[in-house]
Homo-oligomer: A and B are copies of this chain.
Amino acid sequence: MLQYASPAPSLCKDGVDSELAANPLVTKLGRFVSLGSTEIAAIDRICGDQKAIAPDQVIIAEGSCPDHLSLIVDGFAYRYKFLPGGRRQILGYLVPGDLCDVRFSVFDRLDHNIASLSDSQVANIPVKTLLDLFAAHPAIERAMWLAALVDRTILQEWLLNIGQRDAYQKLSHFFCEMSVRLKASGCSDSDGSIELPLDQTALADTTGLTLVHINRTLQRMRCEGLIALRRRRLTISDPDRLAAIAGFNDDYLAPQVPPVRASC
């Protein structure tokens, strides 16, 4: 039913026929492999069991072991972990098309929490359904693994970011990344601004900095004409300069996959 102009492995171009509420998972996986209409239909089918989630709801709690994976269809979620001292590290963000964590399918419980940030739409996909899908469509399985590997690369880039850059660069890099990812998942406005439903505490726990320091760094960034951030909406005024400051390179978000080795 959903007709999709057979997406050749197109790179993150936004504005591609997103009139028809395309399944964000299709969009995402379509960046890794080319999906036929059969596959697209199959993906649509497994996303049937959807649920609306209010902001700040725990989707999956640490230590739990659900028998399904959660797909963010719409909205914004994040992965995080608390330390005994009460400190929180945010481990990553989930945007439309992102699957909560593939590790579910193999480990017995998750070692961190996943919660919503905004009003979201989440599809619950039973593990078995997913495995059946993989069995029937190896291309989908491959794309899914590739997506998981990109997730890992993002994590690695975060480590670099938190470990080596100063506050100004950290924030810049984070904004660059989120901007690219949200645009790729079709969630950017016509003016290029994105909805970033994070308070400054979240930014602090993302970057390993303090709320107060985040606040001051943001002010500086605004002063310097780099960004505008208000009412949970981020506009990058000077993308090139921001990327230069951050040392940002979006290669890691859209890795090249040689078609030859398709044999996963």
User: CB distance A106 to B159 under 8 Å?
Assistant: no
User: CB distance B264 to A160 under 8 Å?
Assistant: no
Shortest distance in angstroms between A124's beta carbon and chain B's nearest beta carbon?
17
Q: Is A199's CB within 8 Å of the partner chain B?
A: no
User: CB distance B255 to A107 under 8 Å?
Assistant: yes
Contact of A156 among B112, B160, B162 (CB under 8 A): B112
Assuming the contacts A103-B152, A112-B156, A164-B89, asked whether A247 and B145 have C-beta atoms less than 8 A apart, the reply is: no
Bound-complex Cα distance A159 to B106 (A)? 22
Closest B residue, CB atoms, query A80: B160
Known: A103-B153, A106-B257, A112-B156. 9 other contacts (CB 8 A): A83-B160, A83-B164, A87-B164, A106-B149, A107-B256, A107-B257, A111-B153, A127-B261, A164-B208
Which of chain B's residues have a CB closer than 8 A to the CB of A102?
Answer: 149
Which of chain B's residues have a CB closer than 8 A to the CB of A81?
Answer: 156, 160
User: CB distance B146 to A106 under 8 Å?
Assistant: yes
User: CB distance B247 to A83 under 8 Å?
Assistant: yes
Which of chain B's residues have a CB closer than 8 A to the CB of A127?
Answer: 261
Q: Is A190's CB within 8 Å of the partner chain B?
A: no
Binary contact readout A128-171 vs B (1 if CB under 8 angstroms, 0 otherwise) = 00010000000000100110010011011011101111000000
Closest B residue, CB atoms, query A161: B89
10 of the cross-chain contacts (CB-CB < 8 Å) are A83-B247, A106-B145, A106-B146, A106-B261, A107-B256, A107-B257, A108-B255, A108-B256, A112-B156, A164-B208
Q: Is A48's CB within 8 Å of the partner chain B?
A: no
Which of chain B's residues have a CB closer than 8 A to the CB of A103?
Answer: 149, 152-153
User: CB distance A163 to B89 under 8 Å?
Assistant: yes
Which of chain B's residues have a CB closer than 8 A to the CB of A91?
Answer: 156, 159-160
